[in-house]
Amino acid sequence: MENPLKTLWAEGKPVLNGWCSIGSAHTAEIMARQGYDSLTVDTQHGAFDYGAALSMLQAMGGKKVVPLARVPWLDAGAIMKLLDAGAMGIICPMINTAEDAAAFASYLRYPPHGQRSFGPTRAGLAYPGYGVAANDAVLGFAMIETQAGLDNVEAIAATPGIDGLYVGPADLTLGLSQGALPAGFDRDEPEIVAAIKRIAQVALDAGKIPALHCMSPEYAAKALDWGFRMVTLNGDARLLAAASGASVAAFRALQNDA
């Protein structure tokens, strides 16, 4: 029961995370073959819920990539079901207070470190020997993506059982600017960049992993310079839309030239 992501961090390497918004075991298996270190099935904004997530985790089984999951909300049942399904870590949105963080952490681990209920039905198949020792392998990322979350970031980072702070730039920007700035990733507004950097520093100071949701490889590389130790790079739905759209556009341009 080791989590290979911890090994990467121990070796001083960053973690490159992929992102699944499409609820399909086929797309999950495609993504699992591309060289990401971890791959997150997103049951929050992804167009799927537990049933598809399970089939995606099953299809990722036996691949080198480490499966993670994002839950729709701070919800004990959803978190524990995804861990039982084989996710090796949970990203939880909208952690705004230390109380949120403590509740989240408690759902991730068996007693005495939490209140996770025992019954790792599929995790036990995916990882022979899975049991209480999973407490050491499972990761919990608290998303900092509101003004309140930013205000309480030190307390959140200090919460035992929280392994990392995950920055959601779209929501953080909407929240900090109170809707004045448009939603989106790869921000360059100084006040947003400052907030993002601050979260990274707070995490590092607390001995936790700072993680950032990015679009472009260039921005993700820059995030490493800011201290982030995990970067998410785009996601399946956007990658497919962009690639197919570009292919069509290229053909239409050639067609119009002719």
Residues assigned a catalytic role: 45
Which of 154, 182, 191, 194 binds a second copy (CB under 8 A)? It is: 182
Which of 2, 7, 35, 151 binds a second copy (CB under 8 A)? It is: 35
CA distance 104 to 113: 12
Which of 183, 189, 194, 205 binds a second copy (CB under 8 A)? It is: 183
Which of 1, 6, 9, 25 binds a second copy (CB under 8 A)? It is: 25
Instruction: Check if the beta carbon of residue 135 is closer than 8 Å to that of residue 109.
Output: yes
The minimum distance between CB 192 and a second copy, in angstroms, equals: 14
Which of 99, 151, 191, 252 binds a second copy (CB under 8 A)? It is: 252
61 interacts with a second copy by CB under 8 A: yes
- 3-state secondary structure (DSSP) of residue 228: coil
Residue closer to a second copy by CB (options 178, 190) is 178
For 4, phi then psi, to 5°, come to -60, -20
Write each residue from 160 to 179 as x if it is in contact with a second copy (CB under 8 A), else as -, in one continuous string.
--------x-xx--xx--xx
234 interacts with a second copy by CB under 8 A: yes
Residues of this chain, 66-125, that bind a second copy according to CB under 8 A = 71-73, 75-78, 80-81, 84-85, 93-94, 110-113, 115, 117-122, 125
Residue closer to a second copy by CB (options 84, 163) is 84
CA distance 24 to 42: 12
Percent composition of the chain: helix, strand, coil (DSSP 3-state, to 5):
45, 15, 40
**How do beta strands 139-144 and 230-233 pair?**
unpaired
Question: Which 8-state DSSP code applies to residue 146?
Answer: S
**How do beta strands 38-42 and 66-70 pair?**
parallel
CA distance 91 to 107: 12
